[in-house]
Structure 1
Amino acid sequence: MTVEDSVLVEDSVLIDALGSEPRRPDAFRALLRRGPAALPAIRRGLVHAEPRVREQCCLLLDELLVPEASDELAARLDDPDARVRVAALHALSCLRCKPDADSCRPDRGRLLPRAVRLLHEDEDPQVRMRAAELLGLWVHEDADAVGALVRARDEDPSPAVRKKAGWYAPGGPIHRRTAPKGVYRR
């Protein structure tokens, strides 16, 4: 067995271990320590049979996201498991976790309609809250993002979703904080 083969086997074992609660934390840390070298295994883990593994791979990509993995991560927005959709939305929207946030900005043209659909149609309130965060990335430059956030702020059945959407909608605290300079004055 070559060194490359043993690394592939080790990565596969670590990916499978993400689905085992007692082994998950150590496997997660080991994959994170491997950094970019673990990306091929993590990307394969996005389609693992076990939802917990798919969720953990989304969380790993939150820290290690590279532009070429964005499409695979975006595909998880249609995952049957809500935890996976939540983790994928977070990985796509949270720019604080990325080492190079500018190169990993999500593609608005492809993702905005999906985020609007999730915000208004997903049955899980956690998914809808994360969709509001993703739409918040574009609220200063896209009328569809504004409209979706205002509608959710005013009409969502969940108080938590209404509150989160209100933060990103015009007049909300995050909307004001992220506004381009000179737009809002006190």
Structure 2
Amino acid sequence: MLDLVEPLETDGMLGFVRTDDEALVSCLGDPQRTVAAYRELLRRGQNALSAIRSGLRDGDPAVREGCKFAHSDARAVAALEASHAKDPSPAVRKKAGWFIPGGTIYARTARLSPDQGTSNRPF
């Protein structure tokens, strides 16, 4: 008799072979999987931050760009500032500049929501 392993709830939904945080971060570099991976990482919230921060140093520029949404985490800011200053990819440097303090996206997401009095930050 075969042992059946119950798949993770997200396995079927995402259609990924692996759905651990690191695998989802690597999918941020795949245009066909970026949106689903991004949404699942957001759903996981704080639990995915370590993998997202690691993704800021990934060898693939598309993965590094995809990890910029974690910019509200204090430890991610340092990685973003380093990316903005010295990443070999001009696209990564440019986008990192948007997310660091003083950048347009950082300023927009750091504002308080008028109806909730809470930050609009993703994490």
What is the TM-score when the length of structure 1 is the normalising length?
0.45
Which of 96, 103, 107 matches 1:95?
107
Taking a change above 3 Å as real, the CA distance of residues 49 and 96 of structure 1, as seen in their structure-2 partners, is same
- The structure with the greater share of residues assigned to helix is 1
Look up the equivalent residue of 2:80 and give its one-letter code: L
The aligned residue for residue 27 of structure 1 is 37
How far is 1:100 from its partner? 7.1
* Structure 1: tracts of 5 or more residues without a match: 1-8, 102-186
Where does residue 57 of structure 1 map in the other structure?
Answer: 67
The number of aligned residues is: 90
The two structures have a TM-score, normalised by structure 2, of: 0.66
- Show the counterpart of 2:113: none
Could you say which structure has the greater relative contact order, defined with CA pairs below 8 angstroms and 6 or more residues apart? 2
Match of 2:76 in 1: 69
TM-superposed CA distance for 1:69, in Å, is 2.2
Counterpart for residue 25 of structure 2: 15
Q: Which of the two has higher C-alpha Rg?
A: 1
2-structure distance, mates of 1:57, 1:67: 14
> CA shift at 1:68, angstroms?
2.5
Moved over 3 A (4+): none
Report the secondary structure of 1:52's partner residue: helix
